[in-house]
């Protein structure tokens, strides 16, 4: 319905998730640190889970339902939207299983470690496959049928769910992004948010070794992002 939808934030989010999947794979391949200790205490796992939860629940609650109403008489496209939600649910199950391993007693350490590696491999493969599926099939559907108003509503829901986590999730999202992309995502934000990002949030994030044992993510308050 519109070729004017700006999907920059969507692709930046996908890129950030892929970046963290690479880090997760490296963590579970380590021999110098027990990956369970890393995931239990490092900031990276929590940042990844929080960002993914925000992104997927905003799609499930605000993006796919709007498209479903528009595509009510197109059963093939409705099947695709159902697949998107099913893939989200399957990914959530793997994350829950990983967390269960992390909180399990250490009585069977070897089995737990092997199980964690199997689960993280399943997460890497499953989420990477989902992102490709969404980009190849679902996002073209969004471009073709979503209205600017529907797209803006999705962005607003996404932003509200980031909420007070913006000081840590915004720098996480923009890590490695080029200057033009950073400007595209920051420009619509209120000036106090842009100032806080430059002066406080980004420097704090840059100093964080988020996949090391015992690290914690910076926290703070801030206004929600209004586009996604």
Structure confidence by residue, pLDDT tens digits, 160-194: 999 999 999 999 999 999 999 999 999 999 999 99
CA nearest neighbour of 153 among 226, 97, 202: 226
Structure confidence by residue, pLDDT tens digits, 101-116: 998 876 555 556 778 9
Residue 134, CA distances (Å) to 56, 60, 88 in order: 12, 13, 11
Decide if 211 is inside a domain: no
Q: What angle do CA 84, 86, 89 make, to 5 degrees?
A: 115
The residue range of the domain holding 76 is 8-206
CA nearest neighbour of 188 among 223, 225, 153, 162: 225
CA separation for the pair 55, 50 (Å, rounded): 9
CA separation for the pair 28, 51 (Å, rounded): 20
Q: What is the CATH number of the domain that holds 96?
A: 1.20.120
- Average confidence score pLDDT of the chain: 90
Q: Which segments of the chain have a pLDDT < 50? A: 1-2, 218-228
Strand residue runs (E) in the chain: none
Whole-model pTM? 0.90
Q: How many distinct structural domains can be found in the chain?
A: 1
Decide if 2 is inside a domain: no
């Amino acid at each position: 319905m519109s070729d004017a939808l700006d999907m920059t934030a969507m692709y930046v989010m996908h890129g950030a998730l892929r970046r963290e999947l690479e880090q997760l794979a490296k963590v579970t391949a380590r021999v110098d640190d027990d990956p369970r200790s890393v995931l239990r205490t490092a900031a990276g796992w929590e940042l990844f889970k929080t960002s993914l939860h925000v992104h997927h629940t905003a799609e499930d609650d605000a993006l796919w339902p709007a498209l479903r109403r528009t595509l009510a008489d197109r059963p093939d496209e409705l099947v695709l939207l159902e697949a998107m939600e099913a893939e989200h649910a399957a990914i959530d199950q793997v994350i829950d299983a990983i967390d269960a391993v992390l909180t399990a007693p250490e009585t069977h350490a070897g089995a737990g470690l092997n199980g964690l590696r199997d689960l993280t491999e399943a997460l890497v493969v499953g989420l990477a496959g989902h992102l490709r599926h969404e980009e190849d099939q679902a996002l073209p559907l969004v471009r073709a049928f979503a209205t600017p108003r529907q797209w803006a509503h999705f962005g607003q829901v996404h932003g509200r769910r980031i909420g007070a986590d913006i000081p840590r999730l915004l720098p996480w999202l923009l890590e490695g992004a080029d200057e033009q992309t950073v400007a595209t995502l920051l420009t619509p934000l209120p000036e106090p948010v842009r100032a806080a990002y430059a002066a406080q949030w980004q420097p704090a994030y840059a100093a964080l070794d988020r996949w090391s044992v015992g690290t914690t993510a910076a926290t703070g308050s801030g206004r929600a992002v209004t586009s996604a």
